[in-house]
Structure 1
Amino acid sequence: MTEARTSLRADARRNRQAVLDAARELFTERGDGVQIDEIAERARVGVGTLYRHFSDKQSLLAAIVASRFAAMTAVARAAEQLDDPGEAFRALLMGYLESAEGDAAFRFALLGPQEPDWHEINAEKQQFAEIVERIIRRAADAGHLRHDVTGNDFVLLTRGAMANMTGERDWRRHVALLLDGIRAQ
């Protein structure tokens, strides 16, 4: 957490959290069509208060992603501690997706029409990516994954599965099919 976030007054922290909660709800309900003034109204704060915390919709989406990345990094650290490299990769992938399944606003932020403003959450993203790369390399070196699988492939796998977390689609079947494709022969 940045120093600016930890040094906020109690009322400012409550307002920031109310804005994040309202944005999560509205993005989950309606996707990108949500307007800033609607988020402020749902959070019961003024638009000016919202803008003091978030300069635009992209910075708000980045904050949603950043909060989820903290949880995702914890999942990745736990997976990295597993002795079996193949199980470590599976735990990482499934833990990431199961966490994303319960957070439609996070999925929207990643899959929506605009990428989040990564510069605001670069440290979190970099830390997560480094752990993912180590897990993938270990699994590939142990013969559990194709040697050409990379962290970028992890992004493709997870985004594909997240796109199938709606309605009657079975994202777990999607993942099983994908895992068959990246498994070492």
Structure 2
Amino acid sequence: MTTREPTLRADARRNREAILDAASDLFARRGESVQMDEIAERAGLGVGTLYRHFTDKQALRAAIIGRRFELMTGLARRAEQVEDAWTAFETLLYGYLESVQPDAAFRLAVLGPQEPSWEAIEAEKSAFAAIIERIVRRAIDAGHLRADFQPSDFVLLTRGAMANMSGDQDWRRYLTLQLEGVQTGAAPAPAQPEDRGHAS
């Protein structure tokens, strides 16, 4: 009994990742029109297996977001170690957006009309949000961000930039204009990509 349980857990993890990979691909290609049975077929699993992991598309969207948040928490921790408060803020902000730019399924999950099941990924969301809050507070205390800037405003900035990632729209130009509205006079100009380097 004890030797079988780890194998089952590993199988379940593999099935879950296969489902998320399939859902991400199909959502990116076709958006909300994708059906659960199509996701199961793409993942090479039965529909029953899919529903044992995810009850509906809202739960799938939340899991796609949660998986991205897990990755971004690592970036956020590295950004938090940057000594300069403004550079830390920019490292997190641009690193986050550069990471999600090729992830159309994540952007759809965040920006789509259907609200994800946030309670399913509360731990991932909370871990990422806590680091955002600390980085924002440092930038405010250092005089780089306006005093009324909230951690939730970080979300507004990223969602606005993500909404400008389709087609030929320039999300970097959008973000530069937005940052000019939240920086104080003491803050440096937003870094260009070649100055900042690529966060990973």
Same-fold call, TM cutoff 0.5? yes
Shift of 1:9: 3.9
What residue in structure 1 maps to residue 96 of structure 2?
96
Partners of 1:28 and 1:114 lie apart in 2 by 15
What residue in structure 2 maps to residue 26 of structure 1?
26
| Runs of at least 5 residues in structure 2 that lack an aligned partner in the other structure | 1-5, 186-200
Change (3 A) 1:137 1:10: closer
Q: SS state of the match for residue 92, structure 2?
A: helix
Is 1:176 the counterpart of 2:162? The answer is: no
Partners of 1:90 and 1:124 lie apart in 2 by 21
**C-alpha deviations, 1:122-150, integer Å up to 9, x for none?**
11111111111111111011111111111
Q: SS state of the match for residue 32, structure 1?
A: helix
Amino acid in the other structure paired with 1:107: R
Partners of 1:134 and 1:83 lie apart in 2 by 13
Task: Give runs of aligned pairs for residues 11-50 of structure 1, distance below 5 A.
Answer: 11-50=11-50
What residue in structure 2 maps to residue 76 of structure 1?
76
Tell me how large the CA RMSD over aligned residues is: 1.4
Shift of 1:7: 7.0
Change (3 A) 1:135 1:114: same
State the TM-score, normalized to the length of structure 2.
0.86
Partners of 1:14 and 1:70 lie apart in 2 by 17
Which protein has the larger Cα radius of gyration, Structure 1 or Structure 2?
2
**C-alpha deviations, 1:100-123, integer Å up to 9, x for none?**
112111111101111211111111
**C-alpha deviations, 1:128-181, integer Å up to 9, x for none?**
111111111110111111111111100100000011111101111111111111
Partners of 1:44 and 1:26 lie apart in 2 by 14
What residue in structure 2 maps to residue 107 of structure 1?
107
What residue in structure 2 maps to residue 56 of structure 1?
56
Amino acid in the other structure paired with 2:42: R
Partners of 1:179 and 1:159 lie apart in 2 by 14
Stretch deviating more after TM superposition (137-146 or 12-21): 12-21
Partners of 1:115 and 1:133 lie apart in 2 by 23
**C-alpha deviations, 1:33-78, integer Å up to 9, x for none?**
1111111121121111110111111111111111100111111111
Shift of 1:96: 0.7
Shift of 1:12: 3.1
Change (3 A) 1:83 1:53: same
Partners of 2:108 and 2:21 lie apart in 1 by 14
Partners of 1:119 and 1:54 lie apart in 2 by 13
Amino acid in the other structure paired with 1:166: S
Report % sequence identity.
Answer: 64
Change (3 A) 1:7 1:115: farther
State the TM-score, normalized to the length of structure 1.
0.93
Q: SS state of the match for residue 82, structure 1?
A: coil
Partners of 1:179 and 1:135 lie apart in 2 by 15
